[in-house]
Amino acid sequence: MQRIGFAPRFFAYLIDIVLSLILLWGGSAVWLSLISTSITATASSSGVANVAEMRAALVGYFLVWIFVALPEIILGASPGKLLLGLRIRYEEGSETIFPVLFKRYCFKHLSYVVNISGLVLMGIFACPFGFLLMMLILLGNLAAVVFFLGYLLVLTEDQQALHDKFAGTAVYSHKALTEELIQSQVAATAKVAKVETHSDPNDLFKPRW
């Protein structure tokens, strides 16, 4: 079965980016507008506005996680892939499971995972481990460059990005997957019917010893 190449996957990625930006900016703006009164009332307190902005950003990122990341991990397709009729499957085209999709997502967004982990740890161990955690964030940025270049591997014969190769997955057309499933079911039904047709009814009354 033919895998999906670079162009459809790129357009699906653009849809995901646009949706993510809308959720990030929209969620942050709505959160800030809801708490703007309390921010104004306590504006004299040091760092209150910065904390509010950080929380607003977290709200936006949470919305991105719910509406963009989770569908890709649970359904095997991000919103962009769903709109374009694409699905993430194992290399041979069979249904994937949650751990594999989660691993693929972590590889695909390794820089985000590393950076967020580094920021969280910096908040806890800022004094003794600050330098090491900054190096961790630097490694996350380097990983982003590596996996960005890994997208170009979709142009090869295997049509798998670097994160696909690590997770053992590929992207297929949902229509092609459905057609193949129907054909396999029809073939299985025809095989059973053929066996039943060629069986001798008198065999039921023959002694079995």
The yes-or-no verdict on residue 205 having pLDDT over 60 is no
Is there a domain that residue 1 lies in? Answer: no
Is there a domain that residue 69 lies in? Answer: yes
Q: Output the six-digit token pair for 202.
A: 């008198």
Instruction: Report whether 40 contacts 88 (CB < 8 A).
Output: no
The yes-or-no verdict on residue 46 having pLDDT over 50 is no
Is there a domain that residue 192 lies in? Answer: no
Is there a domain that residue 97 lies in? Answer: yes
Mean pLDDT score, 175-195? 83
Query: How far apart (Å, rounded) are the C-alpha atoms in residues 72 and 96?
Result: 11
Overall number of domains in the chain:
1
Residues linked to residue 171 through DSSP beta bridges, in sequence order: 88
3-state secondary structure of 86: strand
Structural domain span for residue 51: 6-184
Is there a domain that residue 59 lies in? Answer: yes
Q: Minimum mean pLDDT among 57-71, 128-142, 176-190: which range?
A: 128-142
The letter for the amino acid at 208 is: R
- Give the pLDDT band (50/70/90) at residue 112: confident
Mean pLDDT score, 33-57? 61
Mean pLDDT score, 41-56? 58
Is there a domain that residue 102 lies in? Answer: yes
Give which of 194, 176, 173, 179 is closest to 5, Cα–Cα: 173
Is there a domain that residue 76 lies in? Answer: yes
Instruction: Report whether 67 contacts 24 (CB < 8 A).
Output: no
Is there a domain that residue 200 lies in? Answer: no
Query: How far apart (Å, rounded) are the C-alpha atoms in residues 70 and 8?
Result: 21
